[in-house]
Each structure stands twice: as C-alpha cells, then as structure tokens.
Structure 1
Amino acid sequence: MAKGVGPGHRATWEFWGEELRERRMKAGLTQDDLGRRVFVSGGYIGQFEQAIRKPQLDVAARIDEILQSGGFFERMCRKLINKSPYADYFREVADLEALATTICEFAPTVVPGLLQTAEYARQVTVAANPFAADEYVEEKVSSRTDRSRILADATRPEYWVVLHENVLRVQVGGPGVMAAQLEHIAARARARELVVAVIPCVAGAHPSMMGSLKLMEFEDAPPVGYTETAFTGTLLDDPAVVKKARRAYDLLRVAALSPEASLALIESAAEEFRRCARTT
C-alpha cells in the first residue's frame, strides 16, 4: 500500500496521480519543471504521481493552470477530499502522520487514535455520537484502525507516546475492552514499535492539561504540531509556536515515569481490568 493513502481511496488517488503523470509528460515537463511552476519541489510532484502524498487544493488549481486541464485536478481533488472519513480539521494531520519520520504524542484522557483497538474506538465514537447510525460508527472505527497501520509499516516513524494515568483508569466500554486496549499498548511497546511513558496522577499540574498534543518531524519539511480539544483541532506550523509545543512536550516527558516503570503500570492496570472482566 502506498504510504499515506487508506485502502478505501487508494485506487482513486492513484488515478489522480496517473493522470498527472500522463498530462505532465504530454506537456514536455519534468517533475522538477512542474514543481517549480506550482511552487513545490519536484519530489512532491513525484509523491503526488505515486499517490504517496495528497495535494492541497491550491496546488491542484495551479497544476490545472500550468497543464491547461480545465480544472480537472482541482475538481477531482475536491471530490476525493469530500469522501474523507476525517473531520475537516484533521484531514491534513492524518496525511502528515503517514509521512512523518517521528511522531511525539501526549494524551490526557483518551488513548491516541493510532493506538486504539477497534472496540475501544467503537466505544469512544458511540459516546461522542449517541444517535449515530451503525454505518457511521463503523466508518469511523475503520478509518482509525487504518491509520494505525503506519506503525507496522517497514518505514514506520519513531513513535513516542506520553499518557496521563487518567487514560489507564477511565473505563471506556467494559473492563474487557479496557484490558484488551491496555494489553495492546503494552504489546506494541514490548515489540519496540513505540516508546510509552505515563504521567502519574500524583505528578500534579503539567503542561498541555487542556488537550492532546502531537508533534511530527519529516525528512523534507519543517516540523509541525497539532493540538486538539473536544470539538476541534489546530495544526501548528509557525516555527515559534512549534518550538513552544516542543518545550511543553519535553516538560511532559520529564514529569513522566521511566518507560520501564510506565510499562509495568500499564500491564498492572490491564491485569486489574482483566480480573474484573472475569468476575462480571
């Protein structure tokens, strides 16, 4: 699978990329030529053509102008974006996750989407959307589990996760759901797919108490941050703001237990939920 494109839309984005390559070559332009004219690198054009990266609408519009394609690329881009299972404010973040070389994440109350099991994701989705149809819920669950596949990819990013102890204690679904979720996190940590640290409740006040935080680094682009609250999220690309977010994350890691102690706490909490599940 091309990195950054979910299985439900890959073929369509591949068609977009194939059309771009064909029309670019007919125009006698190299990837670098077209990139210069639409203000991106030739490498980006190559990633568009391979369906690795999804273009922004303004880039698609500039491609139409240069290739004289009558608005084809922008129109198709809009249709594909509208099919996205993600909220407007999260679409670009989901694409960036798949391109990141390093992801650092902090979660104060809920397991991060990249680590959620299907049943945990289902319970979270239903809690936020109590009147939603089953089809809507399953689409959200599927999109979340699809995102998590980047952690098993051969080119997976380094993934650092700081969880507040609340994440381990707040029961989402029944005790069996929580036991399976915490066991899933522990298994991925033991497989060295991620490094996890837990901030204990006794640590008191800490940065980013009002919402989650994600930092992403890339090979060919500046780092970005992302913060999220209950109803919206904000992508941070101002270097000064990203630097402040980086400092906040460093302070979170200082407040956390060591990875070894954190893993022991996660496994202990999982066992408590497992015992509870056996007795209910």
Structure 2
Amino acid sequence: MKADGRPRTAREKYGEELKLRRMAAGLTQEALAREVVCSPTLISHYEAGRRLPSPDDARRIDQALGTDGFFERWLQDLEPVFAHYFGLVAELEQEVTEIRHYGGLLIPGLLQTKAYARAVFEAYSPTYRTEELDELVVSRTKRAMLLEEPSAPVTWFLLDEAALRRQVGGPQVMAEQLRKIADMADSGRVRMHVLPLASGAHALLEGMVYLLTFADAAPLAYIEGLHNGRLLDDPALVAACRTSYTLALSDAASRQKSVALVRSIAEEHEHAHRRAQHP
C-alpha cells in the first residue's frame, strides 16, 4: 500500500525493488545510469514505476547490480499488453471493489465480444498483421475475465444509445454484442443503464470516464481521448467525475427499460443482417 492509500501496482513494486538493490550496491541514480547507458532521469522513472526498462536496459541493470538476471526475468511478466497510458489502470482493476464506466462512443472493453474488439482494433490500425490483432483480442478477453470471478467487483455500465447503434463490425457482430450485454445485465453480473438519444445533452457528453473504488484506498478516475489517457487521483477531480456520472445516470433509462432497449436494438441489427443476406 502506498502512502496515499492507493494499492501498489506491479510496476511500482518493480521500481521499489530496483531502488533497494541500487542503494544496497552503494550506487546513486547517476552512477547506475552510466552503467546502463541512459539518463539519471530515466532511472528515476524506472524506480517510481512510471516506466519499465527495455530488455536491454534490464540486462545492463542486472550486470551493474550483480543481480544475476533478476530484473530481466521479472520484466518478462510486466511487458505491457495494453497502451502505455492504460497499463496502470489494468493493474488497478485487480484491486477494485466497484467499477463505474460510461461508454459514449464504444462498448466498454470489459463488455466487448471478440468480434467487436477485433473490429475496433482493425479500425484503429492503419496497417496490421493478423497475429498482432489476435494478441490484442486475447489481452482484452483476459481482462474481461475480471467479471467472471467469484469476487468480481460491483460493476455499473452507463451506455449511450449511440454506441449501441453504431455498426462496429457490421450488424451481425452488433447483434451478438448487444445480446451479450443484455444477458449479463439480466443475470445480475453487471448493472447496466442506457442514455437514450432522446435524453439530449447530459453531464458526460464530452468524454469517457471510468471510476474505480477500493476497499482500503482512495477512489480514482480515468479519462481517455485519442491516443492518450489520464489517471486522476486528485480528490477534487475524482469527486467532480463522480458527480458528472451521477448526473448522467439520473438521465438514463431504468434498468428494465435499458435491457429492453438493448435487446430491441439487437433485433434491429439482426434484421439488417438478414436483409443484407437476402436483398
């Protein structure tokens, strides 16, 4: 546990161990940087858990500290499978007791089917290889297993109707995606509400927000844009995000009406698929 009450992430533990081993070896950050052939600032980032060393840097760290491959081997378990700005959030998900997510433009990753996720990754990539997409889809699928565990967090999803109607991957993919969401809501695994298009402007219209609550640490908020994301720990900003979520939730349809709307839109996608198959 960190001094601010937030759980330590795996990369922060890595950085703390690096700092302890460096100090035990009697080296300053500047001295270690000379051995690794990098800047002292980069060593500082490694020790704070803000960045991970490359495999070559980890190998040179082991040589400088006489740690017999310790940091290079540990790095293999920490190699990022998510975008650099989301990796910390993915680690913190394992500690949460409650999640609240607003999906305005996309179905949130924790809910995505493999076909939907693949279509999203294809759209994001100007060029791609099949095996790279396979790895990304597998990583997203593994992350979603969080909701299958017996100790799964209480999870709320607030979805904009626009995300339900956008044909990501085509009508058949969307029909399967929306049925999955409705089934999860009906089973009680998640709490899901929809913000109908008819509700007009709402408090989360300008962006995505992801709220994380912990049993013994302060809550956090994560916001994301194009090719960037930001984890918020300032209490005032986190509180403001939670207030915006609550305001938007007050404009949403009830749970029962939301599930019915999701199933209705799924049928619309299914009909569109049938028409395309038999014009």
Q: TM-score, normalised by structure 1?
A: 0.77
1:39 Cα shift?
6.5
Aligned with 2:180 (options 184, 188, 206) = 184
Unmatched 5+ residue regions in structure 2? Answer: 26-61
Look up the SS of the partner of 1:198 in the other structure. Answer: strand
Match of 1:60, as an amino acid? E
Corresponding residue of 2:10 = 54
Report the CA distance shift for 1:116/1:261 in structure 2 as closer, same or farther (over 3 A).
same
CA–CA distance in structure 2, aligned partners of residues 192 and 66 of structure 1: 50
Contact 1:211 1:228 in 2 (8 A): yes
> What amino acid is the match of 1:62?
K
- Report if the CA contact (8 A) 1:60-1:77 is conserved: no
- In the TM superposition, residue 187 of structure 1 has moved relative to its aligned partner by 0.8
Could you tell me how far 1:195 is from its partner in structure 2? 0.5
Aligned residue runs from structure 1 range 1-280, under 5 A: 54-56=10-12, 57-65=14-22, 70=65, 72=67, 75-81=72-78, 83-279=79-275, 280=277
Deviation string for 1:20-74 (max 9, x for gaps)?
A: xxxxxxxxxxxxxxx8xx9699xx7xxx9xxxx5241432323435776937565
Separation in structure 2 between the aligned mates of residue 254 and residue 184 of structure 1, nearest angstrom: 24
Inter-CA distance 63–185: structure 2 relative to 1 (3 Å threshold):
farther
Distance in structure 2 (CA, Å) of the matches to 1:39 and 1:109: 36
1:230-272 CA-to-partner distances (Å, cap 9, x unmatched) read 2111001111111111101101101111111101000000111
* Partners of 1:94 and 1:66 in 2: CA distance: 30
8 Å contact kept, 1:64–1:71: no
Residue-by-residue CA offset, 1:168-196 (whole Å, 9 max, x unaligned)? 11110111100000000011111111000
Identical counterparts, % of pairs: 36
Alpha-carbon distance in 1 for matches of 2:20, 2:217: 21
What are the Cα deviations for residues 89-130 of structure 1, in whole angstroms up to 9, with x where unaligned?
A: 000100111211100000101000000000000000001103
TM-superposed CA distance for 1:134, in Å, is 1.0
Q: Matched residues in 1 for 2:66 and 2:175: separation?
A: 51
Corresponding residue number in structure 2 for 1:15: none
Per the TM alignment, residue 208 of structure 1 is displaced from its structure 2 partner at its CA by 2.6
Distance 1:39-1:239 versus aligned 2 partners, 3 A rule = closer
**Aligned Cα root-mean-square deviation (Å):** 2.4
Q: Is the 8 A contact 1:64 1:74 kept in 2?
A: no
Any stretches of 5+ residues in structure 1 without a counterpart? 1-34
What SS does the aligned partner of 1:101 have?
Answer: strand
Q: Which amino acid aligns with 1:54?
A: A
Distance 1:106 1:71 in 2: 48
State the distance in 1 between where 2:245 and 2:4 align: 30
Structure with greater Cα Rg = 2
CA distance in 2, matches of 1:147, 1:71: 35
Query: How many residues matched?
Result: 235
Distance between the aligned counterparts of 1:270 and 1:162, measured in 2?
17
Task: Provide TM-score, normalisation by structure 2.
Answer: 0.77
SS in 1 for 2:106: coil
Tell me by how many angstroms 1:209 deviates: 2.0
Measure, in 1, the Cα distance between the counterparts of 2:66 and 2:239.
Answer: 38
- 2:189 & 2:118 partners in 1: Cα distance? 23
Query: Which stretch shifts more, 66-75 or 138-147?
Result: 66-75
Q: Given that residues 210 and 229 in structure 1 are in contact (C-alpha distance below 8 angstroms), is that contact kept between their aligned partners in structure 2?
A: no
